[in-house]
Amino acid sequence: MSLRRQLTLSLVTILVLFAVNVGTHFWGSFARNESMEAYRESVSAAQLSTEIEQLLEDQRQQVLILATLRETTEDQLERKELRQAEESIGAIGNKIQRLGRLSRGVTEADYDALWESSNQLLKGWLQFYRGYNDMDFDLDMNDPLPFLEVNQRLQSLEQRQAFIASQRANIIDRTIALTDRITVIAFFSSIFLTAILGYYLVSYTNRSLKRLKKGTERIGNGDLNYRINNIDDTGELGDLASAFNDMSDKLRNAIYDVRRARDAADKANAAKSVFLANVSHELRTPLNAIIGYSEMLQDEMGDRGDINREQVQQDLGTIGNSGQQLLTLIDDILDLSKIETGKMSLYCIDFNPADIIHQACDVLSPLLKKNQNELYLESLQQLPNFHSDAAKFRQVFTNLLSNANKFTQQGRISVSARTLSERPHWVEFAVKDTGIGMSDAQIDKVFDAFVQADLSTSANYGGTGLGLAICRNFCELMGGSIRVKSQPGGGSTFTVQLPTDPESAHAIA
């Protein structure tokens, strides 16, 4: 049997004994409480019976006196005296009803008989009081039988209640004695069983732990061929011995893991080298244009002939575009550096997202014309205002639209947006193109820095592989996310989900 099962069995046994002890205690407490409650009710009923008996006696004496006065005098009963008599009889009836609430079980039949006879007696007294001033009303109040019957039944009920109270007291004494005996037996049984189980478990685990200690010392000293095979346990201790045996095998595999890590580092260095090569190419292209056109302008200015102003204006525009391209590339590298060092922060202002997207589209209109693409803007009119970083929002969609134009020729590019009903204060944007698309393997690494979807992408389309990595980091910085869905030859759809207020999004998260 495994150590875990032994411990579980021991714990369950101790808990059962403890539960028996606790259950006995609570059962005894409940039984005592029930008996005490019944005892208190019996005592209260006996006291109430005595009180009712005295009230009935007093009321009968008053009725007899009034009956004698009615026969010998012509005095009338005043309204106030009638009201007091009715209240007195009503009080007696209420006490009898209260006595009924205390009479349950074996005394219920006695109370029913008392209630029936007392009800007739009280009704007779009430009729006597109400007809006292009517000389034609005749009611014999000297008949003692109704009163004696009520008094007899009341005494019978009182005796039964006293007998029950005595029985309840005896039950309480027996319950206390029984629960005390069970508690003492369970307590000493728990101590005895705990001592035996503890001794057995300590002896068993001590032997197994000594063998484990020897094995760990041998493995720790470098004997990786040593195996701990003499553990007589199929549970946790056996698993621990197997774990030590597996550890020696894993140490052998450590060298292989180190080699794999070195290969991964070499691949990362290779990716950085390819990135540096791409950056060098991307830097040289605008720099060559700037230097070349600057030299051409110098030569043209040195000539004494007429200056072709239109050509000069075109060359200056080329220089400006090349400088802007160079600045954009440097900004991307600086942004990625800030992101990796954790120094990138948000500068939140209020802005309209539709206006920012329109501005990004206007900037990229020359590239649209160059590749003969059609741009469609859908559902941007009813978007709520954002309180976020407008510059980063603009750069995200500038990069997405730039990529869509770069990889699409004579196709369609659309930008759409919708508010998310399942997530209040969130907006989902979609940039869809009909370009070359990507495979699943390319999608897995499209958002990685320094990496493009394919090695031929840089050669055919240019770029450094930083744009989408920056988009992902900017979206996460603004509290949102970005994902892509694509297939080769079927175009790509980049979906961006952003909160209208990043601080609120972080607070909810």
pLDDT at residue 386, rounded to an integer: 94
Whole-angstrom CA distances from 286 to 180, 290, 369, 507 are 98, 6, 21, 44
pLDDT at residue 374, rounded to an integer: 92
Mean pLDDT value across residues 274-285:
62
Polymer length of the chain: 509
Is residue 354 scored above 90 in pLDDT? yes
**Amino acid sitting at position 15:** L
pTM of the shown model: 0.44
Query: 3-196 sits in which CATH class?
Result: mainly alpha
Mean pLDDT value across residues 402-425:
90
Whether residue 212 contacts residue 247, with contact meaning beta carbons closer than 8 Å, is answered with: no
Structure tokens at 38: 């019944």
Dihedral (Cα; 6, 8, 13, 19), 10-degree rounding: 170
Is residue 148 scored above 50 in pLDDT? yes
* Domain 345-508 fold: Heat Shock Protein 90 (3.30.565)
pLDDT at residue 276, rounded to an integer: 63
Give the residue among 456, 472, 469 at the shortest CA–CA distance from 407: 456
Is residue 5 scored above 80 in pLDDT? no
Q: How confident is the model at residue 412 (pLDDT cuts 50, 70, 90)?
A: very high
Is residue 30 scored above 80 in pLDDT? no
Look at strands 481-486 and 412-419 and give their pairing: unpaired
Is residue 435 scored above 80 in pLDDT? yes
Look at strands 481-486 and 492-499 and give their pairing: antiparallel
With 0-12 / 13-18 / 19 or more C-beta atoms within 10 angstroms meaning exposed / middle / buried, residue 255 is exposed
Least confident interval from 25-34, 63-72, 120-129:
25-34
Give CA–CA dist 428/410, Å, rounded.
Answer: 27
Mean pLDDT over all residues of the chain? 79
Mean pLDDT value across residues 114-138:
84
Q: How confident is the model at residue 285 (pLDDT cuts 50, 70, 90)?
A: low
Place of tokens 């770069």: 406
Give CA–CA dist 278/275, Å, rounded.
Answer: 5
Helix residue spans in 135-144 (DSSP H): none
Whether residue 28 contacts residue 178, with contact meaning beta carbons closer than 8 Å, is answered with: yes
Give CA–CA dist 373/392, Å, rounded.
Answer: 25
Look at strands 492-499 and 426-433 and give their pairing: antiparallel
